[in-house]
Structure 1
Amino acid sequence: MENSKTSVFSNGLIWFGAAVSIAEILTGTLIAPLGFGKGIAAILLGHLIGCVLLYFAGLIGAKTGRSAMETVKMSFGEKGSLLFAVLNVLQLLGWTAVMIVASAAAASSVISFGGNAFWSIVISLLIIVWILVGIKKLGKLNFIAMGALFILSIMLSVVVFSGDNVVTTFTDSISFGTAVELSAIMPLSWLPLISDYTRFAKKPKAATFTSAAVYFFTSSWMYIIGMGAATFTGESDISIIMVKAGLGVAGLIIVIFATVTTTFLDVYSAGVSAVSISKRLNEKWTAVIVCVIGTILAIFTPIDQFVDFLNLIGSVFAPMIAIQIVDTFILKKDSTKKKFNVVNLILWVIGFTIYRIFMYIDTPVGNTLPVILITIILSVIVEKIIIEKIFGGKKNA
């Protein structure tokens, strides 16, 4: 069994591949109107908030050996966790379509061969190869792919930050708090996935810390590339930047491998989450089906409202992980054997509502941090004061 465990290094590779993403670069371009100095500060602060939460989420799975949605049962009960499993499959299906359509458009712009549909199918087939090889056997393949991505990402960085560096004047504006939130939301989107990978770790704490740290630095780097591209080249479309820079085939490799390594995690975790909904499903073949459906959506469905999609992810999973952190690390409770933890489900609804309210409040630290803190405080108060002192520790679930 020990041989099937993953090393600290392999976990780091997985999350490097997750962070090298067209979506990260695209989101970074949205922060450019803030200015380069403030933009970097917002990116780092947002990623710090999101990656601290990512670490705790991954640590729960690493210590228990459970998948992400299995760890959700520890706070919300066996049936209560189904809500989050379904929402997670839907968000992963959405991410699959977003990643494929964005990358197919970029690929067809970089190489004038085939249209968006052609490149969508090519990328989808490569993702399916990754799925069929399997997470535990991807070591050498991931090492080669990550090495290529690392070199090509450096090339892309040089292209973006070299030259005349004429700063673009933006007509749009963005607040510091909004930029922080846009940076925190990306690691938040991985919260209901990370345990699917850390559960296999030989060294739970080290592998989880490495995963979160690698994602922090690499995702921040991708955001800064996107922000720099928009600031210094006046372009928000990374494919146009690569074409102007003459990257050609190198640019195509960046686009395709970045999409494959990131979207593989999405579809694989969709399969794992689907198994938590019904044990009759096979996680590998469910992942293939999710990939195929995502490809169909990418080809035939117009995908827009990217920021709204990100905010929806934050509002669902920020209060969820806050409650999990309280139950696992503060209260040390496990509701796996219960059908529903009604109290926690009510707390999640309150947290979700608070997040949606905070979307209309401009704080210097975004929405996630205050929502997390409020939800944690409410969870502790409900358990320690209301349930234990008033009801003597008894509650219905």
Structure 2
Amino acid sequence: MNWYRRLENRLESGSDESGVIRGTLSGRRMFMIWLAANLVVTTMLTGTLFVPGIDYTTAVIVIVVGTIIGTIVLTLIGNIGTRTGLATMAITRGAFGARGSYLPVAANVIILMGWSWVQAMLAGISVNYVVEQTTGFSSPILFSVLCQALVVGLAILGHEGIEKAEPWFALLILLAMAFVFVTAFTGHAPSEYTQMSTDPSLEFTPALALDIVISTAISWTVLSGDLNRLAKSQRAGVVGSGLGYITSTVLAMVLGLTAFSYILIDRGGSAGTGDAGGEPAAFDPTVLADEFGWALAIVIFLSVMATNTMVVYGMVNSVVGAQSRARLRFLPVALVLGAISIIGSTWLALLDQYTDFLTMIGAFFVPVFAILIVDYYIIKRRVYTRDILRDSGGLYSYTRGVNWAAVGVWVVGALVSYLLTYAYPSPVGATIPSFIASFALYLGLTWHTRGRFAAVSVGHLSAEA
């Protein structure tokens, strides 16, 4: 039985007098968990998308600023997990209702399924690269399927082992990062990177880059409650996860940015040539492996195996744990979702739509997290009671288990995100306006209910740490 199901079982059985589950991990340990979790190839390759659309210096600034903004949301949601002992998808029951929470749970499964496909493809392409270099045989689809089948098996049988191995994979990634940085900055002076010309025809703006960086943080926020409820205190959770996420994301994205800039300079895209390389980066790890060696492809494969196993494992548990009294068993759900993930891993064209995929993540979850922050910190006054574990009745029953205000705001927020991305492109991107609109609308619609929760204190789950 996994660690967060054990926590939920303790919550349901009331294993301590207050009903509060207190984690035991220090801030340092939380830092290491988040550092290891986000040192993955997807974050690194995201950094390759920014040049030559925008200049190197602007890209670095956008990465840092966007990561900090996204981390604020990530740590606020993670802190609810620390205070309540609940996983992120269980937390949504407080704002959306027991039945209404099925909507964000379904969205979460869709997003995680997409991530599992992307990661499997990247692993398969990396393996195919090594095999093709050594034997001449090439079949990216075959290796993507085999990699995902291995991931599903690990998620069912070996998830605890992969958790223990992940820090070692992270160490390999850090060593590979050091090698790439040294190669890049000894091969070309820093001034060559900062003076690279851009390609306006790509129509890639700093605002779009900012949206991508924030969406990356949002994609990790779906797991922030799951991880941060293990922290022994709010300070440990907020500081540890915040610094861990910022460090890993900035390192990985700047690495991808630097590595691809190095390639562009080698191909004649340096300042003064009038040619920025002509093409944006493909979301393809072999672009970097061609330049920095097949050993990097192997490290990419290992990092994907570790991270994708936890993605599939978390996806299954989102479904199994959708109700407080689980009626679905882990193995059948894992087999069904695993089969879908294996079939989907053949859709290599998804890699060409990666930015659209990140946009979809933002549209799905930016409104959800805006709603949760308002609901928990303002409307519910930082208290969720044990009623949140009930499938019917109690404080969070709303209308037949659905808080239609939250559902309506979610739809509006997603619509705002879509319109500002595709119909009326916003000069400041879509993520921040969508968050603000969702935050303000939900606050306005629910402010009158705030008094109902003012006196709630008995049997609450929040832990003052």
Give the TM bin, normalised by the shorter chain: 0.7 to 0.9
- Picking from 79, 92, 101, the partner of 1:81 is 101
Return the offset for 1:161. 3.7
- Picking from 345, 351, 355, the partner of 2:413 is 351
Give the stretch that moved more between structures: 186-195 or 229-238.
229-238
Distance, in Å, in 2 between the alignment partners of 1:49 and 1:379 is 21
Cα deviation 1:224-270 (Å, max 9, x = unaligned): 1222223221265442332333x32x313321122123223321221
Give the stretch that moved more between structures: 118-127 or 220-229.
118-127
Q: CA, structure 1 residues 298+138, in 2 after alignment: closer, same or farther (shift >3 Å)?
A: closer
Once the two structures are superposed, the pairs formed by residues 290-305 of structure 1 within 5 Å of their partners are 290-299=337-346, 302-303=349-350, 304-305=352-353
Q: CA, structure 1 residues 36+277, in 2 after alignment: closer, same or farther (shift >3 Å)?
A: same
- Letter aligned with residue 123 of structure 2: S
- Letter aligned with residue 115 of structure 2: W
Q: CA, structure 1 residues 100+149, in 2 after alignment: closer, same or farther (shift >3 Å)?
A: same
Conserved 8 A contact 2:49-2:257: yes
Return the offset for 1:21. 2.1
Q: CA, structure 1 residues 156+282, in 2 after alignment: closer, same or farther (shift >3 Å)?
A: farther
Corresponding residue for residue 207 of structure 2: 177
Cα deviation 1:186-206 (Å, max 9, x = unaligned): 011122222122223333431
Structure 2, unpaired ranges of 5+: 1-6, 8-20, 265-280, 389-395, 455-465
- Picking from 349, 354, 361, the partner of 2:425 is 361
Corresponding residue for residue 273 of structure 2: none
Corresponding residue for residue 162 of structure 1: 186
Corresponding residue for residue 254 of structure 1: 299
Give the stretch that moved more between structures: 56-65 or 10-19.
10-19
Give the stretch that moved more between structures: 230-239 or 340-349.
230-239
Distance, in Å, in 2 between the alignment partners of 1:290 and 1:93 is 8
Distance, in Å, in 2 between the alignment partners of 1:71 and 1:378 is 20
Corresponding residue SS for 1:305: helix
1:215 to 2:245 alignment: yes
The alignment's C-alpha RMSD in Å is: 3.0
1:59 to 2:79 alignment: yes
Q: CA, structure 1 residues 119+192, in 2 after alignment: closer, same or farther (shift >3 Å)?
A: closer
Q: CA, structure 1 residues 17+294, in 2 after alignment: closer, same or farther (shift >3 Å)?
A: farther
- Picking from 25, 37, 42, the partner of 1:23 is 42
1:38 to 2:46 alignment: no
When Rg is computed on C-alpha atoms for both structures, the one with the higher figure is: 2
Corresponding residue for residue 372 of structure 2: 324
Corresponding residue for residue 125 of structure 1: 150
Return the offset for 1:75. 0.6
1:244 to 2:274 alignment: no
- Picking from 435, 443, 447, the partner of 1:372 is 435
Q: CA, structure 1 residues 287+67, in 2 after alignment: closer, same or farther (shift >3 Å)?
A: farther
Q: Structure 1 length as normaliser, TM-score?
A: 0.86
Distance, in Å, in 2 between the alignment partners of 1:4 and 1:266 is 22
Return the offset for 1:326. 0.7
- Letter aligned with residue 370 of structure 2: A
Distance, in Å, in 2 between the alignment partners of 1:162 and 1:290 is 46
Distance, in Å, in 1 between the alignment partners of 2:152 and 2:167 is 16
Cα deviation 1:271-314 (Å, max 9, x = unaligned): 22101335123447645653443233113664242211111110
Corresponding residue for residue 119 of structure 2: 99
Q: CA, structure 1 residues 307+140, in 2 after alignment: closer, same or farther (shift >3 Å)?
A: closer
Return the offset for 1:343. 1.5
Corresponding residue for residue 357 of structure 2: 309
Conserved 8 A contact 1:67-1:272: no
Corresponding residue for residue 142 of structure 1: 166
Distance, in Å, in 1 between the alignment partners of 2:22 and 2:405 is 40
Give the stretch that moved more between structures: 188-197 or 58-67.
188-197
- Letter aligned with residue 99 of structure 2: K
Corresponding residue SS for 1:155: helix
Corresponding residue SS for 2:48: helix
Q: CA, structure 1 residues 195+157, in 2 after alignment: closer, same or farther (shift >3 Å)?
A: same
Structure 1, unpaired ranges of 5+: none
Q: CA, structure 1 residues 5+263, in 2 after alignment: closer, same or farther (shift >3 Å)?
A: farther
Corresponding residue SS for 1:30: coil
